[in-house]
Structure 1
Amino acid sequence: MRDTLIDTLEPLGIALGAALVALLLVQTVHVMLLRAGRRSALLTELANRAHRPTQWVVVLSAVYFTIRDTADEADWRHTFLHVEQLIIIGAVAWLVAALLVVAEDAALARFRTDVPDNRQARRVHTQVVMIRRVTVATVAVLAAGVMLMTFPQARILGTSVIASAGFVGIIAGLAAQSLLRNLFAGLQLAFSDAVRLGDVVIVEEEWGRIQEITLSYVVVHVWDDRRLILPTSYFTEKPFQNWTRNEAALLGDVMLDVDWWLPVPEAREELRRALESTDLWDGRVSVLQVVEATGNAMRLRALVSATDAPKLWDLRCFIREHMVTWLRDAHPSSLPRTRAEVTSAMPLHATLTGQTHTADSDARVFSHSVDGRARAEAFTGGERSTEGRSPTTPLPQPEWTQR
């Protein structure tokens, strides 16, 4: 009994001492990296992200090799080492993922997105984020597979699965069709440059900015702080508007209906003065045109430009308000109006000549005029004589009128 207790405690004590030495070694390296990181942001990032997983890997490895070499006759040795293997595999996967994230962050640090012309930077950020998600998922799947292979039963099961891989692959493909479609759509979005993080888009009649792109969905930050969640396959299967595809600068229009009396050249000069008085305008486009002149008003279109979509929206509202105020104060007679012409019910020439017509005279074809009576005679039969008939004698009516 005493020998058994000694055989158990002695390896555990040695393993504990090895773990403490390994932990001290890792902490020393961590402090050295932090000091060196004062001059290098990469070393600081590496020290912060890789510190915890490195502690787990080094300490667990020291305990594993100590127990394997010192506890040869212990009954719990095999089970303990197997559990240690599983934990070490998970810790190594954690460390690999952390190192990949550090490398990706170092690549992202070279491309700033807080500058005016950041299209290339946003493209790189989108691709790196997608690569990060794929690599982390791949590391996790590989780690799970390695853990399963440590079980003898799993190896036997793996042989059976490989034998029926064709059938299982078909079933899995059908079951995961939607998932795989979104997965490949996400990769396509990242590397086709169709949409990037920070792009301004119009989707589902909503105006917003691409906030997040994952392997399965895309988050659109709508202008009123709502979030529109769409599957990644949406952007490969349906049309959408990308306002920042090539550059962020945009054109916008302001429509105004005014009266025909407005002097358009003065309106153009006022538009230019309004644009020069605000920092929302980027100085590229200032155009005022009459795009329609029908009915009671002219339609003016003011075309303006801004560096991005938010500034363009505010600029359009500013120009609309400014031009309306200018029209009201400087040219009130040019505001939209409705015209109506009031005339007499009787035509002027009839009043002057004394000719009048009744409603009935313009509503009959065969009477009340010389031509009308002639048409009536033609329909009653041209062979009938009208000689000896006084002008006041009524014409004989046709048979169809007497019925």
Structure 2
Amino acid sequence: MTALLAVLVSAGAAILLVEIAHRVVVRLGRKSMLAADLARKVHRPFLTAVTLVSVQQAIRVFAGDFTYRSGVMHALVLLCIAAFAWLVGAMLLVMEDVALARWRTDVPDNRRHRRIKTQVVMLRRVTVAAIVVLTIGVMLMTFPDIRALGASVIASAGVISVVAALAAQSTLGNVFAGIQLAFNDAIRVDDVVVVEQEWGRIEEITLTVVVVQIWDDRRLILPSSYFTTKPFQNWTRTGSAVLGTAEVDVDWSTPIEPMRAELRRVCESTELWDGRVCVLQVTEATGGNVRLRALVSADDAGALWDLRCLVRERLVAWIWEHQRGAVPRMRAEVDTQDRPSELARPIHRADLGASSDAARVFSGGDDGEGRGVTFGGPDGAAPVRA
């Protein structure tokens, strides 16, 4: 009866002290985000651990020998180990929240912040996994039979590790790849990437998989080893500001300068443009059309996509309204006179005349002769001509 009363008093005193401390921390949490986070996440594991330790000590001191004493004490030891592991895990969550609150990612230039967030999240997961493994190991070592088998288990650990590595080499490869991604800065949370011909954002990085949020809100789940073994595009590795293009095909008769002025006016009239790059260039002039490329810049990938669409839309509307003759057209020449004798007459080599130096690559001048020697092969052999 005395032991039962001692257990109840110890448990009650522990609960009372923890609740008083909790109230104090909650009051401090009105001014401190750290205290508020401690009050939310540490209260339950701390209460459990303190209560279990108080009950264990009360039984150890006040309870005499009884039938199930060893079993009860062993169970309390296991519960205390689990409770303290829970407490350590909760403290890690609080530390992660403090680090992430200091390095927020909802700021314009957040490259370093996103790197730290990725590393903090990955470290927390690795640490939590290590805590779970160590906790299970410590709990198992409290059993005398298992502790007696420790020597033989250690002796066979080499063989077991080899077999386990061969059986789970793919999983272990992804785990090591996930740890590598957290520290090699190849990708970070919130990075904008192009992977598997899909454009999206790194939403989550775990020990085994990487979750990519596609622009249309689909989720692409890839193993961590994908980003260490295959090429991919990272648009925001060195900064969130990016460049993009909008291409338009026009006719050869199109005046270019008025379109450059219109592109500048479109960029300056929208908040999507960051003021860095606004260039219109002719990048191709073949096949009967001239290809114009508008190169523009924006603060992030989302704004760039909208800016590219806006530039393309405004240029098309401007061409149709002010330069309708610039619309691509097909040209054909129709010959109504039938001249079968000229068409049927064979063309002789003499009709072509002597070729000028401007038509030669490997001869016909000092530069051409030098090139012919270079590409002529061994012993001055002539180059292969088509």
What TM-score do the two structures reach when normalised by structure 1?
Answer: 0.83
- Alpha-carbon distance change, 358 to 87 in structure 1, aligned in 2, over 3 angstroms: closer
SS at match of 1:344: coil
The amino acid across from 2:204 in the alignment is: E
Aligned position for 1:370:
none
Question: What's the counterpart of residue 313 of structure 2?
Answer: 321
Match of 1:280 among 265, 272, 276: 272
Q: Deviations over 1:83-125 (max 9, x none)?
A: 1111111000000111122122212221111111000000000
Q: Deviations over 1:38-73 (max 9, x none)?
A: 221111111211100011111111111111112222
| Amino acid in the other structure paired with 1:29 | A
Query: Counterpart of 1:233?
Result: 225
Q: Does 1:183 align with 2:175?
A: yes
> Structure 1 stretch 115-124 or stretch 12-21: which is displaced more?
12-21
Deviations along 1:198-244, one digit per CA (max 9) or x if unpaired, are 00011111111000011111100011111111111111111111000
> 1:132 — aligned with what?
124
Aligned to 1:165: 157
Q: Which AA in structure 2 matches 1:194?
A: A
Q: Would the aligned equivalents of 1:250 and 1:308 in 2 still touch at CA under 8 Å?
A: yes
- Counterpart position of 1:41: 33
Does the 8 Å CA contact 1:282/1:305 hold for their aligned counterparts? Answer: yes
After superposition, residues 288-307 of structure 1 pair within 5 angstroms as 288-307=280-299
The correspondence of residues 264-275 of structure 1 with structure 2, limited to 5 A, is 264-275=256-267
Question: Pairwise mapping of residues 147-226 of structure 1 onto structure 2 (< 5 A)?
Answer: 147-226=139-218
Question: Structure 1 unaligned runs (5+)?
Answer: 1-8, 348-355, 364-403
Number of residues of Structure 1 aligned to a counterpart in Structure 2: 347
Larger radius of gyration: 1
Q: Is 1:24 aligned to 2:23, yes or no?
A: no
Mapped contact 1:68–1:77 kept (Cα < 8 A): no
CA apart distance, 1:176? 2.4
Q: Deviations over 1:316-371 (max 9, x none)?
A: 11111101111111011111111111222335xxxxxxxx8498x748xxxxxxxx
Q: Separation in 2 of the partners of 1:155 and 1:30?
A: 39
**Dislocated runs of 4+, deviation >4 Å:** none
Q: How many Å separate the matches in 1 of 2:294 and 2:219?
A: 32
Match in the other structure for 1:110: 102
Residues 1:71 and 2:63 are matched in the alignment: yes
For 2:290 and 2:99, how far apart are their aligned partners in 1? 56
Unaligned runs of 5+ in 2: 347-386
Q: Secondary structure at the match of 1:337?
A: coil
Over the aligned positions, Cα root-mean-square deviation in angstroms equals 1.6
State the identity %: 56
Alpha-carbon distance between aligned partners in 2 of 1:295 and 1:193, rounded to the nearest angstrom: 44
Is 2:227 the counterpart of 1:256?
no
| Kept in 2: contact 1:285–1:305 (CA 8 A) | yes
Where do residues 57-96 of structure 1 align in structure 2 (5 Å cutoff)? 57-96=49-88
Question: The residue matched to 2:228 in structure 1 has which SS?
Answer: helix
How many Å separate the matches in 2 of 1:216 and 1:14?
49
3-state SS of paired residue (1:340)? coil
Distance 1:334 1:124 in 2: 51
Mean Cα displacement is larger for which, 76-85 or 163-172? 163-172
Q: What secondary structure sits across from 1:221 in the alignment?
A: strand
Separation in 1, partners of 2:155, 2:250: 80
Q: Could you tell me how far apart the structure 2 residues matched to 1:87 and 1:70 are?
A: 20
The AA in structure 2 aligned to 1:134 is V
